[in-house]
């Protein structure tokens, strides 16, 4: 996750309503309109930014009607102006894929309700996955759900033969006998000998996907 310290200024008709300090998408503090409060918030933002080795992001929001920080947050998260928090008790990120045109998008809000596709106007597209607001399409749970949605609604343009690089890691243990000067040199000697020793096949294996692409 990208580190961010942000000061958000809410304005209405040119007048400052309030400021809020966010760190990595989490609301830390709001200030009043007096000079002392502003100085204290600025100093705290600078200290936090220095600790995280970033510069303070300054964001301005124009407000119409009543001030609603919850609504402001959601708008800024989805614009990408404000980093989404890793976790939230109130918000989730919904991941969508249109079953008609196969457009994909995500949205942070408190409902993750069905949406109309903004690309082809297909109605009531349900999210194929809901996750923490800081999740992205590389999250394992999201990838599994997307794979299931692809199988259910395959895109003719994407169907075909793929070449996928897969790495297999299988943990295996073998006791190696070495003659050494002591316990620590014995460990090093055993590691060196292991390179030329055949290990038994492990029953548990892990597989990771590397590069992939559609075949010719």
Three-state DSSP at 65 gives: coil
pTM of the model: 0.76
pLDDT digits (tens, 9 = 90+) for 80-119: 999 999 999 999 999 999 999 999 999 999 999 999 999 9
Q: What is the pLDDT of residue 196?
A: 83
pLDDT at 127: 97
Question: Within 13 Å and on the Cβ side, how many CA atoms surround 164?
Answer: 9
pLDDT at residue 48 in the model: 96
Q: Report how far residue 164's alpha carbon sits from residue 123's, in angstroms, rounded to the nearest whole number.
A: 34
Neighbours of 46 (CB within 10 A): 14
Residue 75 has pLDDT above 90, yes or no: yes
Domain ranges of the chain: 5-79, 92-152, 162-214
pLDDT, tens digit (0-9, with 9 covering 90-100), for 149-197: 999 999 999 988 888 887 777 777 778 888 877 777 778 888 888 888 7
How much is the pLDDT for 183?
78
Task: Identify the pLDDT of residue 215.
Answer: 65
Q: Which pLDDT belongs to residue 60?
A: 95
The CA distance from 115 to 96, in Å, is 9
Place of tokens 């082809």: 120
pLDDT score of 203: 61
At which residue do the structure tokens 């998008």 appear? 105
Note the pLDDT of residue 212.
66
What number is the average pLDDT over the span 122-143?
A: 94
- H/E stretch holding 214 reads strand 206-214
Residue 186: alpha-carbon gap to chain centroid:
44
Mean pLDDT of the chain: 88
């Amino acid at each position: 996750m990208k580190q961010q310290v942000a000061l958000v200024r809410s304005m209405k008709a040119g007048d400052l309503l309030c400021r809020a300090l966010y760190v990595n998408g989490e609301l830390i503090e709001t200030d009043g309109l007096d000079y002392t409060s502003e100085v204290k918030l600025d100093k705290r933002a600078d200290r936090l930014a220095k600790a995280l080795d970033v510069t303070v992001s300054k964001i301005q929001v124009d407000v119409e009607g009543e001030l609603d920080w919850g609504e402001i947050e959601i708008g800024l998260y989805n614009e990408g102006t404000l980093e989404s928090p890793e976790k939230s008790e109130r918000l989730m990120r919904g991941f969508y894929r249109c079953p008609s045109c196969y457009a994909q998008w995500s949205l942070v809000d408190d409902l993750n309700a069905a949406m109309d596709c903004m690309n082809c106007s297909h109605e009531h597209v349900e999210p194929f996955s809901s996750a923490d607001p800081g999740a992205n399409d590389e999250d394992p749970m999201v990838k599994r759900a997307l794979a299931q949605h692809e199988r259910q609604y395959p895109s003719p343009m994407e169907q075909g033969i793929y070449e996928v690089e897969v790495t297999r890691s299988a943990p295996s243990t073998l006791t190696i006998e070495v003659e050494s000067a002591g316990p620590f040199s014995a460990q090093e000697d055993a590691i060196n000998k292991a390179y030329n020793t055949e290990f038994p096949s492990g029953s548990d294996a892990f597989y990771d996907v590397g590069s992939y692409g559609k075949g010719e």
